[in-house]
Structure 1
Amino acid sequence: MTELLFRSDAYLREAPGRIVAHTPDGGIVLDQTIFYATSGGQPGDGGVLVHEGAEIAVATAVKGEGAAVVLIPSDPGPLPPVGAEVIQRHDWDRRYRHMRVHTALHLLSVVIPLPVTGGQIGAEKGRLDFMMPEPPTDPAAIETALNDLIARDLAVTDDWITDEELAANPGLVKTMSVKPPMGQGRVRLVRIGEGEGQVDLQPCGGTHVARTGEIGRVTLGKIENKGKQNRRVNLHLAD
């Protein structure tokens, strides 16, 4: 099991780690990590591991067996031995843009209150697929409402409930295509806004900004037809 340091601090850019395993395909498992592993439409982090003054480039991070996070080196080659101490640094600029896009997509699901059938996060843009038989009549109004929510600079926090509590409250789950990260006995909820100002609460294992104002202005891209019942709504970071 890899301890997920980004769960308690998504802004952590560097941390020590100890190699606890190598995978058959040349991956590295640490006892704790700041690297987010590909899941839920959010790409895995890249970066570097530093061992005895030498850098090992990390192309991405993926989920391994059990609760392990596997770091995939960019190039094959000799790895530090199991037990070795390393310093890990991810590509912060890319990660932070993922955080901004991810939180913006949560707000998009508030502005368009329809079931979500898919999604993808990138460093420049993201998208959600909605169960939306007809295209929206006023995309400009959606963009304005989204940017208004962002500008409120709402706090983004998390909480935890048990698997059983989530099963008893299925309305918390907006995304139909991706199951909430269950199976560990508890599920993380991401909340946007506080008290009477809360605008969103849903299960999510990804990384987010601390306040919506960090997202900055966004623009809506294409709204694409993805079948009889589905529309894909794209958004872009303005800077």
Structure 2
Amino acid sequence: MDTLFREDAYARDCIATVTAVDERGIRLDRTVFYPTGGGQPGDSGALRFDGLEVRIRDTVKGDGADDIIHVPEEGQPLPAPGTAVEAVIDWERRYRHMRMHTALHLLCAVVPGSVTGGQIGADKSRLDFNVPAESLDKDAIAEAVNRLIAADSPVGTQWITDEEMAAKPELVRTMSVKPPTGSGRVRLLSVENVDLQPCGGTHVARTGEIGGIEVTKIENKGKQNRRVVIALKD
């Protein structure tokens, strides 16, 4: 499958061909739909064909690295294999995920300690850090992240080999999720002079697009496990 979102996170639609349909959902030969992974929710949207529209409520990974399943809402007529469809994502929801995901990379750069978990949402997102509570100040964290946002730094991706990844374990900040290896290369997310780490998600092109965040709360989730929750300001 051609995963268009990996090369262009701003692609909102594409023309594709249905390759398979079963009880799990619909597979296409190419897609702009991001599948659930790395804490980022799968895209929702629609597949349009022959004057019909199938609403897609979720997108998930299938059996292989590039096997993506588009999960339809129930009770809809499904396209047969070989059907040409227009695949269209819910852009407003995806764009909020892109802004949130990039904001979490800035949060990761601001807060010391390893990341033990995280979750991205359109309304709020979080990262869990292995760090003492007394070292975290809600207002100071928000101010530091918003300075990085205001700097409007470029955000991009680059690829390194599995061997290069193995030689640079310091690039991995997340303890709970290991970067995918085995395909020969690993995708890195780069925020210029701020952050560089493995990530397969979708992000904005510049930090200024995030628009500002607030830290809504810091929760105690264990002896040294602190959850930092953020929300976009708009």
TM-score range, shorter chain: over 0.9
C-alpha change, 1:190 and 1:137, in structure 2 (3 Å) is: closer
Once the two structures are superposed, the pairs formed by residues 141-152 of structure 1 within 5 Å of their partners are: 141-152=140-151
Q: Match of 2:49?
A: 51
Q: Match of 1:14?
A: 13
C-alpha change, 1:36 and 1:226, in structure 2 (3 Å) is: same
Contact 2:16/2:87 (CA < 8 Å) preserved in 1?
yes
Once the two structures are superposed, the pairs formed by residues 16-55 of structure 1 within 5 Å of their partners are: 16-23=15-22, 25-55=23-53
Q: Match of 1:188?
A: 187
Aligned-residue Cα RMSD (Å) equals 1.0
Aligned-partner Cα distance in 1 for 2:195–2:210: 16
Query: Which whole-Å deviations, capped at 9, do the CAs of 1:70-103 have from their partners, x for residues lacking one?
Result: 0000114442111110000000000000000000
Structure 1 residues not aligned, in runs of 5+: none
Contact 2:116/2:174 (CA < 8 Å) preserved in 1?
yes
Structure 2 residues not aligned, in runs of 5+: none
Q: Match of 1:179?
A: 178
Aligned-partner Cα distance in 2 for 1:54–1:6: 24
How many residue pairs get aligned? The number is 233
Tell me how far 1:179 sits from its aligned partner.
1.2
- Higher alpha-carbon deviation: 73-82 or 88-97: 73-82
- Higher alpha-carbon deviation: 70-79 or 154-163: 70-79
Aligned-partner Cα distance in 1 for 2:77–2:51: 15
SS of corresponding position for 2:229: strand
Q: Match of 2:120?
A: 121
SS of corresponding position for 2:104: helix
Q: Match of 2:96?
A: 97
Aligned-partner Cα distance in 1 for 2:83–2:132: 55
SS of corresponding position for 2:11: coil
Aligned-partner Cα distance in 1 for 2:182–2:97: 25
Q: Match of 1:88?
A: 87
Tell me how far 1:157 sits from its aligned partner.
0.5
Q: Match of 1:166?
A: 165
Aligned-partner Cα distance in 2 for 1:62–1:173: 24
Contact 1:94/1:123 (CA < 8 Å) preserved in 2?
yes
Percent identical pairs in the alignment equals 58
C-alpha change, 1:89 and 1:137, in structure 2 (3 Å) is: closer
Aligned-partner Cα distance in 1 for 2:24–2:176: 31
Residue 63 of structure 1, aligned match among 61, 64, 67? 61
